[in-house]
Amino acid sequence: MKKQILLLAITTFSLGAFAQKPTIGVEAGLSSFGMRGDAVDNLNGLIDFADGMVSTKNRTGFYAGVNTSIPLGAGVSLQPGLYYTQKGYEMRGDFAVKGMEFLGANAKAQLQNDYIDIPVLIKADLGGFQVFGGPQFSYLASSKLKTTASVLGVNLLNETMDAKDQFNSWDMGLLGGIGYQFKSGFNVSASYNYGLSKVDANKNVAGYNNGFKVGVGIRF
């Protein structure tokens, strides 16, 4: 009798899992990425000596893409996706000479790395509230270093160079986050990307991608 009950339970669970068809979702939002590691720590250490004239910050951009939610049963699903994400880093300098602050001399260097992200996530749905996490593989689609400098509001330098050969084509990391799925199919989410691979092409510099995403989506 116990075996029959167990067999019935397994059969019911299996039928329930297969009865739920995969769904397609689209998602887009804001991204804020920087880098972490020894290379960045050393840079920040040097910046401390600049007495506030030089600062660093994340590159703010956007991301967009599609995903598929494949039900595994009991509110758990597998969610692979394909996204375009803007990542990078920014360094800005404000060089005011004492007594000549009116010059307004400033310079900026922005690393613009654009990736194709391929996350493979496990997602748990807890009555609308969702928790998800898993590995993410990323392909570097383009990399540009943009430098600008100006004095008195006049641009003295505005150059963009291709820097793709300085970085690994592939990156790997972990992605985790939370979200909420409404009955209408509309959803909101926030996630954190923790890079595991060195981005330097020669792997000599300990620099890793690091950042956040906040977005909205719709599931069909």
- Whether 7 is in a domain gets the answer no
> Minimum mean pLDDT among 89-93, 161-165, 186-190: which range?
89-93
Write down the residue that tokens 């690994």 correspond to: 168
Residue 81 domain-assigned (yes or no) = yes
Report the alpha-carbon distance of residue 97 to residue 94 in Å, rounded. Answer: 10
Q: How many domains does the chain have?
A: 1
As given in the structure block, the two tokens for residue 63 are 């991301």
N-to-C CA span, the chain: 42
Structure token digits, residue 107? 């310079």
Q: How far is CA 100 from CA 64, 96, 97, 104, 105, in A?
A: 45, 7, 5, 8, 10
Query: What is the enclosing helix (H) or strand (E) of 184?
Result: none
In this prediction, residue 3 carries a pLDDT of 47
| Structural domain that includes position 115 | 22-219
In a domain? residue 205: yes
Specify the higher pLDDT residue, 80 or 153: 80
For residue 47, what pLDDT is reported? 46
Which amino acid belongs to residue 56? T
- H/E run at residue 142: strand 129-151
- Determine the residue type at 69: S
The greatest distance separating any two alpha carbons of the chain, rounded to the nearest whole angstrom, comes to 92
In angstroms, the CA 218 to CA 181 distance is 9
Is 13 a domain residue? Answer: no
Q: 155 or 40: whose pLDDT is higher? A: 155
Residue pLDDT, tens place only, 32-56: 998 887 655 554 554 444 444 556 7
CATH number, domain of 28, equals 2.40.160
9 occurs within a structural domain:
no
pLDDT digits (tens, 9 = 90+) for 85-130: 999 888 776 655 444 444 456 777 888 999 999 999 999 999 999 9
What's the confidence (pLDDT) of residue 105? 61
Q: Is residue 212 part of a domain?
A: yes
- Asked if the structure places residue 14 within a domain, the reply is no
Cross-strand partners of 154: 151
Asked if residue 167 is part of any domain, the answer here is: yes
